Amino acid sequence: MDTLTADDGETIHLRISGQGRPLVLLHGWTSSHRDWTPFIEPLAAHFRIFRWDARGHGGHAPLTTTVPTVQRMAQDLHLLLAHYDVRDAVVVGHSMGALTLWQYVRDFGCERLGRAVILDQSPRLLTDERWKLGVYGDFDAQRNEAFMAALREDFAEAVLRLVADGHNAAAARAYAANTEGIQAMRQRLRKLAPAPLIACWDSLTAADYRPVLAQMNIPTLLIYGGESNFYSTATAEYVASQLPNAKLHIYEGVDHAPHLWKRDAFIDDLLEFAGMSARV
């Protein structure tokens, strides 16, 4: 992997592939650059692709004591774009990656960005009496405190339950049956260091990016799962309504990772959105 040294001395691991317009891929919480592997071959013919292991992710031992907050990850993204002189980038953010992108826009604006893609995310995770478009529609501060306590007790199981306890019935059935997929995910999660990821989650749930949406004065493609574990279509419609220039796709029948379940549709939609006529 390539590496980038951040301003605090931390090493950021990333892979760079392909040639063309810059495409930056930001993964979700507890994930890594490997989430994007299924898309690299068809996209590398059109884009110079940057995909990282966000700070605190990917299983890399940290070199600093810096907490991997969403604010710190946005700073890392700023450093990455500046280091490689990336301009007119298409930036794709899935889940936590979308929050990182919104934090980046809040802190640094859209000067280096050409287009944005948001995959199944709410601008405010926690809910309250006036905001019901976060996680589950009823994931308030008290429920989040209980979840974080569960993370500290058994990180892997708490993450699996977060996915299983949502709106997607197939995920609930898979967890109850302890399928091979659930077992593999449990094994992967148990290899991760919980403390940085819990601190990261704390920062994600403290953030509120609703005011940032109006600042995204670039074309934005929104792709949401019609059976997302966490968000209703009302969340997707709200985000679309708040952005100055948004196009919304709902991928029916799929969960919080719509791009993974409908890979070909995602690739075609991304290429069309970026002004590419067809796959090579």
Contacts with 75 (C-beta within 8 Å, 6 or more apart), sequence order: 6, 7, 107
Please give the Cα distance from 118 to 140 (Å, whole number).
23
For residue 261, how many C-alpha atoms fall within 13 Å in the half-sphere facing its CB?
Answer: 17
Average pLDDT over residues 32-51: 97
Q: Give φ, ψ of 90 to 5 degrees.
A: -95, 120
Does 111 reside within a domain? yes
pTM of the model as a whole = 0.97
CATH of the domain at 50: 3.40.50.1820
User: What pLDDT score was predicted for residue 49?
Assistant: 98
Average pLDDT over residues 142-166: 98
Does 218 reside within a domain? yes
Per residue in 196-253, pLDDT (tens digit) is 999 999 999 999 999 999 999 999 999 999 999 999 999 999 999 999 999 999 999 9
CB < 8 Å & 24+ apart, contacts of 187-194: 189/30, 189/155, 189/156, 189/159, 189/160, 190/155, 190/156, 191/59, 192/30, 192/59, 192/155, 193/56, 193/59, 193/61, 194/151, 194/152, 194/155
User: What pLDDT score was predicted for residue 277?
Assistant: 59
**Does residue 76 register a pLDDT over 70?**
yes
Tokens 């008290």 locate to 142
What CA–CA distances, in Å, run from 150 to 98, 145, 156, 218? 25, 9, 9, 39
User: What pLDDT score was predicted for residue 276?
Assistant: 76
Give the type of residue at 212. Answer: V
- Tell me how many domains the chain contains: 1
In terms of Cβ atoms closer than 10 Å to its own Cβ (0-12, 13-18, 19+), residue 9 is: exposed
**Does residue 280 register a pLDDT over 90?**
no
Contact 112, 81 (CB under 8 A): yes
Which residues constitute the domain of residue 101? 2-124+208-273
Angle formed by the axes of helices 155-164 and 194-206, nearest 10°: 40
Tokens 């569960």 locate to 150
User: In whole angstroms, how large is the CA radius of gyration of the chain?
Assistant: 18
**Does residue 170 register a pLDDT over 70?**
yes
Does 176 reside within a domain? no
Structure-token pair, residue 252: 């029916």
Please give the Cα distance from 76 to 70 (Å, whole number).
10
Structure-token pair, residue 165: 């306890």
| Angle at alpha carbon of residue 131, lines to 125 and 133, rounded to 5° | 55
Does 252 reside within a domain? yes
